[in-house]
A = this chain, B = another copy of it.
Amino acid sequence: MEKIKVAVVGYGTIGKRVADAVRLQDDMELVGVTAHSYNYKMLAANEKGIPLYKTAEPGNLGTLKTQGSFEDLLKQVDIVVDCTPRLQGAENKKKFYKPNKIKAIFQGGEKQDSAEISFNAQTNYKEAVGKDYIRVVSCNTTGLCRTLGAIKKKYGIEAVHATMIRRGADPWDIRHGPINAIVPHLELPSHHGADVQSVMPDVNIFTTAMSVSSTLMHVHSITVDCKETPNAEEVAKLFEKTTRIRMVDNESQVRSTAEVMEFAKDLGRGRSDMPEIIVWKEGIGVTGKKLLYIQAVHQESDVICENIDAIRAAMGVEDAKASIEKTNKSLDIDTCYGCAGGVCEIPE
């Protein structure tokens, strides 16, 4: 079978990870990534043997070696994963992908109507099969879809309120703060709720957000008014057997986002990433029909596996379960101690 030929356009936090992940798939080939400026990210890509192509807009590439122009790159591929900054993807679609009849995967920073479907693999893979333009929802939305999807199936959802405590900046970002403040997002509701509804339209959800002085992960404090009375232990088991969710516990001293990230290092994960949504066992509580839980989202990596599945869906691969399992295996997802050997629940 021919491999899917993939280009990554935009080589930043998400782009570089998608490129790494594509290289790990036996049914895909990374034709190249775009390079705009001389910097350590591109130097490392060069060193790893990733082919670089110039961006459409000329930049300053210094001594970097490229394999050709942006057009050269597009000519060779079946599909582009567009990881450019917010709203530039829609621009690229109009100027490059549509005229060249190339399929494209966009990120959550694009508007919903930039693509035919907003995507979360374990929620709506099937509906995305064969689409030309798929939008992988943002890191926070992805995290909400994974756990709410499981809850909804089991107990039904009346209403959800989530407070997102967001990392102020990514680990490499030295420009942005806050250094010493908690910064509430003063627009209510935050956009995350509506974004969840782009994937799960019938979920009644209201979200608020704030930023704090950390670079590591987002944390969500979630309250779900369930239709049927939930049970905390049962919820823990439910999450344990749901794919791309990892249960951790106080007992094993994973007490914070810092320790989650250290655990990822200890497990030998690529770039020390933790693509699974983390749920603390001791942080699950029930009062009446209200379920409360605390989850953490590794903003840099949880959408990477989604992008890989989205590529397959766009290219017509019909079996969601097979794609998810293949992606998981390649990225070492679901081999945690807790559920090792367990059967991960993956939607049919």
- Interchain nearest-CB distance for A321 vs B (Å): 25
Is residue A348 contacting chain B, with contact meaning CB distance below 8 A?
Answer: no
Q: Given B167, B210, B212, B258, which contacts A172 in the complex, CB threshold below 8 Å?
A: B258
Report the separation of the CA atoms of residues A309 and B288 in the bound assembly, to the nearest whole angstrom.
Answer: 37
Of the candidates A167, A213, A280, the one having the most CB atoms from chain B within 10 angstroms of its own CB is A213
Report the separation of the CA atoms of residues A215 and B257 in the bound assembly, to the nearest whole angstrom.
Answer: 14
State whether B183 touches A174 (Cβ < 8 A).
yes
Report the separation of the CA atoms of residues A250 and B250 in the bound assembly, to the nearest whole angstrom.
Answer: 37
On whether A177 and B174 interact (CB within 8 A), knowing A210-B165, A283-B186, the answer reads yes
Q: Which 8 A-B pairs have the closest CB atoms?
A: A181-B258, A44-B266, A188-B285, A172-B262, A163-B221, A186-B282, A39-B253, A183-B256
State whether B210 touches A178 (Cβ < 8 A).
no
Q: Which chain B residues lie closer than 8 Å to A283 at the CB level?
A: 184, 186, 188, 208
Report the separation of the CA atoms of residues A340 and B44 in the bound assembly, to the nearest whole angstrom.
Answer: 12
Q: Which chain B residues lie closer than 8 Å to A282 at the CB level?
A: 186-188
State whether B216 touches A213 (Cβ < 8 A).
no
Interface bracket on A: 35 or more
Q: Given B171, B179, B212, B268, which contacts A182 in the complex, CB threshold below 8 Å?
A: B212
Is residue A161 contacting chain B, with contact meaning CB distance below 8 A?
Answer: yes
- Interchain nearest-CB distance for A256 vs B (Å): 4
State whether A46 touches B174 (Cβ < 8 A).
no
Q: Which chain B residues lie closer than 8 Å to A288 at the CB level?
A: 159
Chain A 298-340 residues near chain B, CB threshold 8 A: 335-337, 340
- Interchain nearest-CB distance for A269 vs B (Å): 9
Q: Given B163, B174, B176, B262, which contacts A259 in the complex, CB threshold below 8 Å?
A: B174
- Interchain nearest-CB distance for A203 vs B (Å): 13
Q: Given B40, B208, B267, B268, which contacts A252 in the complex, CB threshold below 8 Å?
A: B40
Q: Which chain B residues lie closer than 8 Å to A210 at the CB level?
A: 165, 219, 221, 294
State whether A258 touches B337 (Cβ < 8 A).
no
- Interchain nearest-CB distance for A187 vs B (Å): 7
State whether B169 touches A266 (Cβ < 8 A).
no
Whose C-beta in chain B lies nearest to the C-beta of A16? Answer: B266
State whether B181 touches A256 (Cβ < 8 A).
yes
A-B contact pairs, 30 of them (CB 8 A): A40-B252, A40-B263, A41-B266, A48-B268, A161-B290, A165-B210, A165-B212, A168-B177, A168-B179, A169-B179, A172-B258, A173-B177, A174-B178, A174-B258, A175-B177, A175-B178, A177-B177, A180-B214, A180-B216, A181-B258, A182-B216, A182-B217, A183-B256, A183-B257, A184-B256, A184-B283, A188-B284, A189-B285, A206-B287, A213-B213
